[in-house]
Structure 1
Amino acid sequence: MRYCTASPSFWPAFPPLTCQVLHGDYSAVNLLFDGDTLTAVLDFLPPAPFLVAYEVGRIAFDPRTVVLNNDWIAAGVNLVGAYLDTNPHLPAADVTACARVALLQLMTSLYGVKQHYLKPGLIQQDLDQFWLLRHAAASRLLGNLDDVENALAQVAHRR
């Protein structure tokens, strides 16, 4: 297991967090199901080591979940708990930090900007909806970050 440190100057220092080779965009739109069975994972970037908290946080606190599910905190924490059932060796610091890392990604990612402003096209309305959803998710996650991290800490220490 390799550890990374991530502490942007505008954010409280993170503890050392685990790195491993990740998919990089393991989200609902890149998963294909046949009923309840996962049949394919799409859109792999070249493999690169990065924070496990990034991948777990982006899955558990996907903008669609955060905005469209009234019980989004419980849904995210339940997903992290299920992840821990399969991967029980993930350090508690990674579990507790995953929502903060997901929020940081939401607040700093420029995905879609080039398509929106430099090469507008047929999917302009979809991009607008995408950005409004991300903004709503970031606002909601930021406003509830203490509650989310407390719930994640409880899950991390229950094992």
Structure 2
Amino acid sequence: MSDVVARILPLFYRIIPTVVDEGPSGTATRNYVARDSDGGRWFVKAYPASADLDAERQALELGQFARLGGIPVPPVRPTLDGDLIAVDGELTVSVAAYVENAETAEGVLFGGRWAAVGETVGRLHRTLARHPSGPPRRVPAREVCDVKRARQRLERLLASYTKRPPTSKFADWARERAAQRLDALPTVAAMLEGLPASLTVQTVHGDLASPNVLLRGEHVAALIDFRPPIHRSPVWELGRIVLDPRTVLAQPDWPTGLASAIAAYQAANPALPTEELLAVPRVAAGYLACSVYPLSEPLDAPEAVTSELEAYGRNRQAAMVELRKRLTEAEEVLHDLLH
């Protein structure tokens, strides 16, 4: 495949590659890193044949909209025809500047990185609030953390496991966790009663997970892999990144770090009400408790079940327990800071 990428780059982009290597793996894409004749490097994303290219273009456009607002997003290189995606008979790709000397935020939020991430996400949400897809609006909190929908998804998952009994240790573990999670939903619902009656939704990044936040030292080097414009809770998105399971488990002082991140977020995006920012740990805990990922993977995508995914699934479960155990502590730290 690298040779096909090497052929496409000069044809569609006037990039003369001297070498094309496999890049970091994507969820649904194959990625490559190309070095050109001037020494520059380019990140090449190759889409599967089943990809919705209109949606992929919208995702790239959203990232470039954020970039115009001063958010660190790698510039996408258009084709010679001005398209953001090159479609060839053998391959469909997009090309962006490669982010040098950066690491993902997976489990490595510490020190000044907490505030750097909070400030960047605050500026991102302030910028995306002006996106043409529509202004922020308020919705009932139950739409953000939908326990009823979670119950339906968990019941369907357990029914599927009944029809197709587990055939691996991880699948058996996933089925047991799904049953436990279903039994715990009344407790989760009671926890979520502490949320404000309504929460803001607006255009957000859409996939602001730790692998999509690149750090360089104590600064955010780039946000990558936007999804097409969708209105979701900025509190949900903020909690998803600053309370990533790997961070919660790796950083015992995460309540203090969380406070630092949220204070920086508030300074960058003061339009979001304080009562919503106080709800970040509760929304994050509710999100983990209502999710079926990766418990559904042994059935939905058995080829994706790797030792890394198994470890992540177990860490995610442990982080959910940790979040709920220290929820009051985290909220008290936030309350003292924001009031």
**Shorter-normalised TM-score: what interval?**
0.7 to 0.9
Deviation at 1:35, TM superposition (A): 4.8
**Following superposition of structure 1 onto structure 2, how do residues 3-18 of structure 1 map, counting pairs within 5 Å?**
3-7=138-142, 8=146, 10=189, 11-12=192-193, 14-15=195-196, 16-18=198-200
Instruction: State the match for 2:74 in structure 1.
Output: none
Aligned: 1:24 with 2:159 = no
The equivalent position to 1:108 in structure 2, one of 264, 267, 290, is 290
TM-score (norm 2): 0.43
- Residue range with higher mean Cα deviation, 81-90 or 65-74: 81-90
Q: Does the residue aligned with 1:130 lie in a helix, a strand or coil? A: helix
Which has the higher relative contact order, 1 or 2, with Cα contacts under 8 A spaced 6 or more apart?
1
Correspondence for 1:55 among 237, 244, 249: 237
Unaligned runs of 5+ in 2: 1-135, 148-188
Instruction: Give runs of ≥4 in structure 1 deviating > 6 Å.
Output: none
**2:285 & 2:300 partners in 1: Cα distance?**
26
Task: Note the alpha carbon deviations across 1:75-118, whole angstroms, 9 max, x for none.
Answer: 11111111112112220111111111111111122233443334
Deviations 1:19-39 (A, max 9, x none): 111112212211234555544
Partner Cα distance (1:111, 1:149) in 2 = 26
TM-score under structure 1 length normalisation: 0.86
**Could you tell me which amino acid in structure 2 is paired with residue 66 of structure 1?**
V
2:322 matched residue in structure 1: 140
- The alignment partner of 2:200 has SS state of strand
Aligned to 2:100: none
Identity among equivalent positions (%) equals: 32
Root-mean-square deviation (CA, aligned residues, Å) is 2.1
Which structure shows the higher helix fraction? 1
Cα 1:117/1:75, change in 2 over 3 Å? same
**Larger Cα-atom Rg:** 2
3-state secondary structure, aligned to 1:66: helix
Seen in structure 2, the aligned counterparts of structure 1 residues 43 and 111 have a Cα distance that, compared at 3 Å, is farther
What letter matches 2:193 in structure 1? P
Letter of the structure 2 residue corresponding to residue 31 of structure 1: V
Alpha-carbon spacing, 1:96–1:36, altered in 2? closer, same or farther (3 Å): closer
Q: Match of 1:132, SS?
A: helix
Deviation of 1:152 after TM superposition, in Å, equals 1.7
Moved more, 9-18 or 66-75: 9-18
Question: Which piece of structure 1 moves more, 111-120 or 65-74?
Answer: 111-120
Distance of aligned partners of 1:25 and 1:154 in 2 relative to their CA distance in 1, 3 Å threshold: farther
**Does residue 275 of structure 2 align to residue 93 of structure 1?**
yes
Matched, 1:130 2:320: no
Equivalent position SS for 2:141 = coil
Q: Give the CA deviation at 1:6.
A: 1.5
Q: Equivalences for 1:67-86 in 2 at 5 Å?
A: 67-86=249-268
User: 1:103, 1:43 → 2: CA distance?
Assistant: 24
Distance 1:75 1:139 in 2: 18
What runs of 5+ residues in structure 1 fail to find an aligned partner? none
**Which whole-Å deviations, capped at 9, do the CAs of 1:94-143 have from their partners, x for residues lacking one?**
11111111111111222334433343236521111111111111000000
Q: Number of aligned residue pairs: give it.
A: 157
